[in-house]
Structure 1
Amino acid sequence: MPETTEGPAAALAGASARSWAERARAGCALAPVADVPEAAEALLRLLLDAEDTAVTRRVAEALTLAGTAAAVRLVALALAGADDSQADWLRTGVEDALAGTDGAVGVVAVCARLAREPEAAVRRGAAHLSAWADAAVRR
C-alpha cells in the first residue's frame, strides 16, 4: 500500500478525484484519522466506491491496519451497504491486512466492542469482520 505525505485537507480533496489510484491513496492517508467526521464520511464513500473495486480493497486494508475502533467501525458499516461484489472486495482488503500480522487479535477485540453498538448495521458488519479475523488468527 503506497505511503503518502499529504495532509488531511489534500487527502479529503483526493477522495473525490477521478483517478482510482488517487482515491485509493487518499483513503490510505485518511485511515489514521477515521475518527474525524469529515474523514469518516469520505472513507465510507471510498469503501463503497462505485467506480473501482481497487479503491474498496485498499481502503478496507488501510482501515483494518489502522485497527482503531473508528476505522474498524467504518468497515463494518460499509458491509451493511455493500453489494455482493463490494463485500467480496471489503473482505479481501481485510484479509490482506490481517495476513501475516498480529492485527487480527486486535480486530477481534474491537469487533467485540462494536457488537454492543446501538446501530444494527454496525453490529452485523462487526460480526462478519470478527469471523474473518478469527479465521486469520487460526491460520
Structure 2
Amino acid sequence: MTSGWEAALSGASSPSWTERVRAGRDLASFADVPEAAEVLVGLLLDVEDTAVTRQTAKALARVGTVAAVRLIALAVVEADGNQADWMQTGVHDGLMGSDGGPDVAAACVKLARDRDEAVRRGASEISAWTDGTRC
C-alpha cells in the first residue's frame, strides 16, 4: 500500500490529466520539500492540459506560503503566454472567497528580495495579478 505522498508523486506523471490535477492539489502543502517542489513546477508547466496548470496554481495560491508562491514565480518566467494566463487564472481562483490574498502579497514582498533574479521577476508578475499590489 502506498502513502498519500507516494501516490501524489506517482500521479504527477500519470497520462490522466485528472490524476495530475489531484497530484498538484495533494502536493501543494509540501511546496517546501525539494522533491515535491520540482514536481509542482512541472505540473504548473504541464504541456498536455491547462487544467493541470490552473488547478496546481490554485492549490499553491491557497497554501500561500513563500515556498508555494516561489514555485509559481519560478514557473511563470518559464511559461509560454498560454500557461502564464492559466497560472494567473489559477492564482485568482485560489484567492477568490479566501483570505489568502494577503499571504500571497506578503510572499511576493519577501520574494522580491530573493537571490534568484527569475524568482524576483516572477514574484513581480504575480504581485501584479493580486489586486495590482507591486512587490
TM-score band w.r.t. shorter chain: over 0.9
Equivalences, count: 131
Check whether the contact 1:47–1:55 (CA below 8 A) recurs between aligned residues: yes
Where does residue 9 of structure 2 map in the other structure?
12
Give me the whole-angstrom Cα distance separating, in 1, the residues matched to 2:51 and 2:91: 13
Instruction: Give distance in 1, aligned partners of 2:130 and 2:76.
Output: 15
Report if the CA contact (8 A) 1:28-1:58 is conserved: yes
Q: Which ranges in structure 2 are unaligned for 5 or more consecutive residues?
A: none
Which ranges of structure 1 fall in alignment gaps of 5 or more residues?
1-5
* 1:49 counterpart = 2:46: yes
TM-score by length of 2: 0.93
Pairwise CA distance, 1:105: 1.1
Q: Which runs of 4+ in 1 moved over 6 A?
A: none
Identity of counterpart residues, as a percentage? 60
CA RMSD of aligned residues (A): 1.2
TM-score by length of 1: 0.91
State the 1:100 CA deviation. 2.4
From 74, 84, 88, the counterpart of 1:87: 84
Please, which of 115, 118, 137 is the counterpart of residue 115 of structure 2?
A: 118
SS of 1:134's equivalent?
coil
